[in-house]
């Protein structure tokens, strides 16, 4: 079956309790401080600015990619600062309140986007004997159902570390992600059962030392220790085994730990 276009995922984890606490408390404190310093008459304006910021941040971080969302936030910040400066100092308190509101909205939007992509990626209807391959090319993502081992290898070899940085193979509850540059450093993640976040592992290179390497994964660039990276040939060995049996090749070195999920900036 030919490739189907997919919605581009947002590479983030859900917001932490601390993030939520800061996101909720900061705008409230800003409104109180601004109202106390400028006057209670501007309180409605401050509340409207905060709500508008929350709505804006939620929408852009839910619907846009991370980089474009940050650009939109910066444009609104500097544009709003210039516009509000023409309105007199009496109204300048609305600018930081609106900005804090947009940060709250950004956390909310990223949180919602994470769980949307989290549900989308699980695909409970894929058969245990069926290989599903997903890959990216620039701003678009594709998938091939009932893929072959040869097709999976082709996608991995095509990784260039720029526009093509992710190939994911799914079989039953198992998943293996091939990330980076086929001509340089790669990171391979594996989980035999994606319903359990504690089972993630990476293809390790034991005994390899040296400075950390930057690996581009989607919209993000991560720094990985040499032992956390691999090269094309071991990645292809892992791919062939996964395509045929749906598990990890035992001849390779796999490192499993609770923090692997934090090092994997991809949806489940």
Listed range (49-63, 88-102, 177-191, 235-249) with the worst mean pLDDT:
88-102
Question: Does pLDDT of 177 surpass 50?
Answer: yes
pLDDT of residue 98: 77
In the numeric block, which tokens belong to residue 258?
């609770």
pLDDT of residue 124: 44
Beta-bridge mates of residue 135: 142, 167
Question: Does pLDDT of 267 surpass 80?
Answer: no
CB 106, CB 60: distance < 8 Å: yes
pTM of the model: 0.58
CB 8, CB 140: distance < 8 Å: yes
Q: How far is CA 143 from CA 4, 8, 147, 226, in A?
A: 5, 12, 9, 30
pLDDT band with cut points at 50, 70 and 90 for residue 228: very high
pLDDT of residue 128: 56
For residue 120, the tally of other CB atoms under 10 A from its CB is 13
- The three-point CA angle 97-98-104 to 5° equals 90
What does pLDDT average to over the chain? 80
List the alpha helices (DSSP H) in 66-140.
66-85, 94-122
pLDDT band with cut points at 50, 70 and 90 for residue 101: confident
Question: Does pLDDT of 125 surpass 50?
Answer: no
Contacts of 235 (CB under 8 A, 6+ apart): 156, 178, 182, 186, 188, 203
Q: What is the CA radius of gyration of the chain?
A: 22
Question: Does pLDDT of 179 surpass 50?
Answer: yes
CB 155, CB 17: distance < 8 Å: no
pLDDT digits (tens, 9 = 90+) for 20-44: 777 778 788 877 877 777 677 777 8
Across the beta sheet with 132-137, the strand order is 4-6, 140-144, 132-137, 166-171, 174-180, 186-191, 201-203, 254-256
Percentage of residues in the chain with pLDDT exceeding 70? 79
Listed range (26-35, 45-54, 55-64, 87-96) with the worst mean pLDDT:
87-96
Question: Does pLDDT of 83 surpass 70?
Answer: no
pLDDT of residue 90: 52
pLDDT of residue 5: 34
Residue from 221, 201, 206, 211 nearest 265 by CA:
221
């Amino acid at each position: 079956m030919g490739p189907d276009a997919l919605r581009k995922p947002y590479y983030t984890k859900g917001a932490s309790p601390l993030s939520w606490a800061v996101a909720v408390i900061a705008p409230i404190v800003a409104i109180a401080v601004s109202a106390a310093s400028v006057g209670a008459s501007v309180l409605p304006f401050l509340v409207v600015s905060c709500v508008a910021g929350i709505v804006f941040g939620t929408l852009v971080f839910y619907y846009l990619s991370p980089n474009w969302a940050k650009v939109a936030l910066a444009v609104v910040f500097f544009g709003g600062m210039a516009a509000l400066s023409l309105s007199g100092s009496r109204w300048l308190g609305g600018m930081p309140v609106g900005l804090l509101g947009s940060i709250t909205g950004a956390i909310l939007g990223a949180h919602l986007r994470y769980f949307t992509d989290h549900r989308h990626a699980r695909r409970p209807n894929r058969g245990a004997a069926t290989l599903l391959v997903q890959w990216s090319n620039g701003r678009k993502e594709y998938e091939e159902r009932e893929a072959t081992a040869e097709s999976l290898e082709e996608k991995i070899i095509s990784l260039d570390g720029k526009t093509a940085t992710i190939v994911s193979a799914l079989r039953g509850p198992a998943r293996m992600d091939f990330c980076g540059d086929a001509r340089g450093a790669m990171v391979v993640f594996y989980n035999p059962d994606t319903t359990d976040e504690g089972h993630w592992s990476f293809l390790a290179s034991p005994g390899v030392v040296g400075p950390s390497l930057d690996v581009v994964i989607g919209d993000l660039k991560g720094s990985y220790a040499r032992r956390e990276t691999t090269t094309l040939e071991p990645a292809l060995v892992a791919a062939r085994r996964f395509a045929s049996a749906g598990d990890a090749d035992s001849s390779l070195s796999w490192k499993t730990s609770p923090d692997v999920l934090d090092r994997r900036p991809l949806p489940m």
